[in-house]
Amino acid sequence: IPCQKVHETEHTLAFRDINPARPVHVLVIPKGAYITWDEFAATASAAEQADFVRAIGEVARREGVAGTGYRLLQNNGEHGHQEVPHLHVHVVGGAPAGPMLRRQQ
């Protein structure tokens, strides 16, 4: 699938979201076949885990949102509303994000 790549390392790829929610909206994915965060944390190598976390910080700095603030979003499973069966983190910023979640009534 074609993408607008913004960062790549041995274990991680970051690219722009095709339907951005804010001026900065980048997806960061591990190159390994992981579906959820808990699976990644339990089975990825230490090198993959460190690379992934560092890549998220690098994307925030490169995209210019580290100073003003940004949101990291990551959904797992049915109740987390995961739509794509591959672990990914959204780095979203460049404009105020608003409240994290609406409270249930």
pLDDT digits 0-9 by tens, 13-25: 999 999 999 999 9
| Positions marked active-site | 88
Give domain status of residue 103, yes or no.
Answer: no
Residue 99 included in any domain: no
The predicted-structure confidence for 30-51, as pLDDT tens digits, reads as follows: 999 999 999 999 999 999 999 9
Q: How would you list the strands of the sheet with 12-16, edge to edge?
A: 5-8, 12-16, 24-30, 89-93, 70-73
Structural domain of residue 85, as residue ranges? 5-89
Pairing of strands 5-8, 70-73: unpaired
Domain membership flag for residue 28: yes
Residue 103: per-residue pLDDT: 67
Of 74, 56, 73, which is closest to residue 65 (Cα–Cα)? 56
Residues 93, 84, 40, 51: is their CA dihedral positive or negative?
A: negative
Number of domains in the chain: 1
pTM for the complete prediction?
0.93
pLDDT tens digits, residue range 54-70? 999 999 999 999 999 99
Residues 59 and 65: their CA atoms lie apart, in Å, by: 9
Let me know if residue 9 belongs to a domain: yes
**94 within some domain:** no
Please report, rounded to a whole number, the percentage of residues in the chain having pLDDT higher than 90.
90
- Which CATH number belongs to the domain containing residue 35 in this structure? 3.30.428.10
Would you say residue 66 lies in a domain? yes
Kindly state whether residue 104 falls inside one of the protein's structural domains: no
Percent above pLDDT 70 for the chain: 94
